[in-house]
Structure 1
Amino acid sequence: MARSGRRRRAFIGSFTAAGGPGLVTAEIRADGGALTLTGRLGTVPDPSYLALSPDGDMLYAVSETAEGAVAAYRVGGDAPEPAGPPVPVGGSGPTHLSVHAGHVLTANYGSGSVTAVPVRPDGTLAATPSGALRHTGSGPHERFQRGPHPHQVQPDPGGRWAVSVDLGTDSVRVCTLADGVPVLHREFALRPGSGPRHLAFHPDGERAYVVNELTPTVTVCRWDARAGSLKPLAEVPLLPGAPAGDAYPSGIVVAPDGRFVWTATRGEDVLSVLAVEGSGGDGLRLTGTVPCGGHWPRALAENDGFLYAANERSGDVTWFAVDDSTGLPRYDGSVEVTAASCVVFG
């Protein structure tokens, strides 16, 4: 949610290699969730994922290229302004980034590593990374799991740990930063062949949900923040039956009040609604699916009671009002953004 006194804005990433405009800005209508595009900035190729600094003054973007880089922008004014040149991350194909312990962390899908880049006091990035952690391992899926492919890295709710989700090794790694270098604390195995993609924490900080890309499921986990430990409990389907064709889940969001989990699935092009239930809230139950309003929803985000899907192949961002009692999304509108890949709010 936007801070008091700030305009309500969204930032949209896209794939320039597929004709996307790069970084796109939008205003959020004051009386709802509608987006109005206000500008674009094509300073780095393929800014596929974005993250805001904790104070909302800086925006960071990966450059999902073979070389791999991260870029910083000042967003306090009318339009984002580049804050220094892109910084190479020493890894290929970064797909995700987050801000943790004074560093920007990137998950480098192509090279199988996680990189830390120091953040200076003014929010700009140091010229070189301070360290990297190379993942090892593989999985049974011949096409996608010949080696490690971290797809996401983020801090845990308490800010002590960095958690990386690896599609190639069917595992989640919990790390710390030691003098700016990511250091492995423990690795936790999920079901072989599941292909974990992204993880979202419950607001209570005691549960985590991992969306699996290679099987349309979510793995429910218990999170022990003190020990830095993740315990898988159950795997829950995201579709009411067998998929008709390709079905590659992508984004996952937990409702701010913790009652629902939402996911997006490419190929099937649906958003799934799962109710949080059971003893201690450890249960998850699929209650319905709705069309995503486009094709190939690569990412999903929530803001002020609305869900937003970045639909890569149809080239649009769609938004949905969420029913407060059922959690079901209702299509409310869209804007055209070629090769859209993610949406963040600040």
Structure 2
Amino acid sequence: MADGTERQPRAYIGSFTSAGGRGITTAALDPDTGALTALHHTEDAVTNPSFLALSPGGGVLYAVSETDQGAAAAFSLDGPARTGPDGPVPLGQTVSVAGAGPTHLAVAGRRLYTANYTSGSVTALPLRADGSLGTRALTHQHHGRGPVAERQEGPHAHAVVPDPSGQWLLCTDLGTDSVWIYDLRAPEAGLRLHREVPLRAGTGPRHLAFLADSREGGDAARADVIHVVNELESTVTTCRWHPGQGELEPLGETFLLPPERAAVENHPSAPALSPDGRFAWVANRGDDSVTVLDLTSGELPELVTTVPCGGHWPRDLAAHPTGRWLYAANERSGDVSWFEVDQGTGTPALTGSLTAPAASCVVFA
């Protein structure tokens, strides 16, 4: 900073402005305690910035606009476009994604991808040199349905996640009970579908997280692991991912609640992985808890315990890059809770919370 002092790290919190959220909240993160302190709110800069993602260099923040019209927006976090000390600054115009209800987005290569829940489609938007969004949207429409009539009457793309190799984009579709795999190796070809991989009918896959294999060797020699969170059942589906071929192999499922709470109406939302790959955490809406999974006990994760989420309806989880803290965006109680993580067991202990109306996600600069 200009005065020679070191600025605290930043966290960015998305929200639903239609439910009272204050847009994108910028918060200072205490590196010693993990505590968040609100500094700035974008308010009306974009409607319903429910999910956020950073550019690879961290200088640009992207947000969906989760509305029936469907859009995405870019914000500068540094450089000449910056006019204030704390808040992101709009970078270019909000751009249509040519799809309805975008719920998730990710950067891969020179494109921004969105999963459009309401329309059941995936969109690719070009990124300009300054990180702003181009307007030529490429879309791919999903087709199909599942057995849960009230939630699976058609496709509902929910999350888009590039694989660690950068060659593939995986999209979980809650409505079709499948993972759609897109080939990114020839970006000039547009959104090129590689294959659709079915999961068990009625599970409703919502999000996924990669656990990359650390072994030496080329892509063909690797077999990474993917954990898919299912919204319509309290389970995680573990899959083996073969990046050399773009193949996904389901291995089995793990229940997220102990047997005595199996009858609780519950809708798991988001996974987070510890940086060392030993633990996974999953947020449970309904049970209002965080499930701790041990990833080292065998081929499938092992349920360790569940702890209260510190609020109501945890829509998103985020693990701090150091692995010391875990954050839950509790949508209906309007707060972000943070936990100190026991490094031996992976169990989070509630430490504090920040008021954040209609909170929906947390990312770290």
The reply on whether 1:237 has 2:255 as its aligned counterpart is: yes
The reply on whether 1:190 has 2:199 as its aligned counterpart is: yes
Cα distance in 1 for partners of 2:123, 2:283 equals 27
Cα distance in 2 for partners of 1:87, 1:246 equals 37
Write out aligned runs for 1:78-227 (5 A): 78=85, 79-129=87-137, 131-177=138-184, 178-179=187-188, 181-204=190-213, 206-227=224-245
Q: Which protein has the larger Cα radius of gyration, Structure 1 or Structure 2?
A: 2
Contact persistence 1:243–1:268 (CA under 8 A): no
Partner of 2:65: 63
Q: How many residues end up aligned between the 2 structures?
A: 339
- Distance apart, 1:135 and its partner CA: 0.5
Contact persistence 1:201–1:208 (CA under 8 A): yes
One-letter amino acid matched to 1:235: E
Secondary structure of the equivalent of 1:139? coil
Write out aligned runs for 1:307-318 (5 A): 307-318=326-337
Cα distance in 2 for partners of 1:95, 1:327 equals 28
- Distance apart, 1:41 and its partner CA: 0.2
Q: Which moved more, 1:241-250 or 1:142-151?
A: 241-250
Contact persistence 2:254–2:300 (CA under 8 A): no
Contact persistence 2:72–2:97 (CA under 8 A): yes
Partner of 2:12: 11
Structure 1's 62 and 240: CA in aligned 2 closer, same or farther, altered over 3 A? same
What is the root-mean-square deviation in Å for CA atoms of aligned residues? 1.2
Contact persistence 2:8–2:30 (CA under 8 A): no
Cα distance in 2 for partners of 1:211, 1:38 equals 32
User: Once the two structures are superposed, what CA deviation does each residue of 1:287-318 show, in whole Å capped at 9, x if it has no partner?
Assistant: 10000000000000000221100000000000
- Distance apart, 1:246 and its partner CA: 2.2
Secondary structure of the equivalent of 1:17? helix
Secondary structure of the equivalent of 2:18? helix
Contact persistence 2:8–2:31 (CA under 8 A): no
Structure 1 regions of 5+ residues with no counterpart? none
Cα distance in 2 for partners of 1:10, 1:40 equals 12
Cα distance in 2 for partners of 1:207, 1:299 equals 21
- Aligned residues with identical type, % of pairs: 53
Cα distance in 1 for partners of 2:136, 2:47 equals 19
Contact persistence 2:16–2:48 (CA under 8 A): yes
Partner of 2:325: 306
Cα distance in 2 for partners of 1:262, 1:197 equals 15
Contact persistence 1:133–1:181 (CA under 8 A): no
One-letter amino acid matched to 2:256: L
Partner of 2:300: 283
Structure 2 regions of 5+ residues with no counterpart? 1-5, 214-222
Cα distance in 2 for partners of 1:180, 1:86 equals 25
One-letter amino acid matched to 1:198: H
Selected match of 2:285 from 242, 253, 266:
266
Contact persistence 1:103–1:180 (CA under 8 A): no
Q: Deviation above 3 Å: which 4+ runs of structure 1?
A: 242-245
Selected match of 1:45 from 44, 47, 62:
47
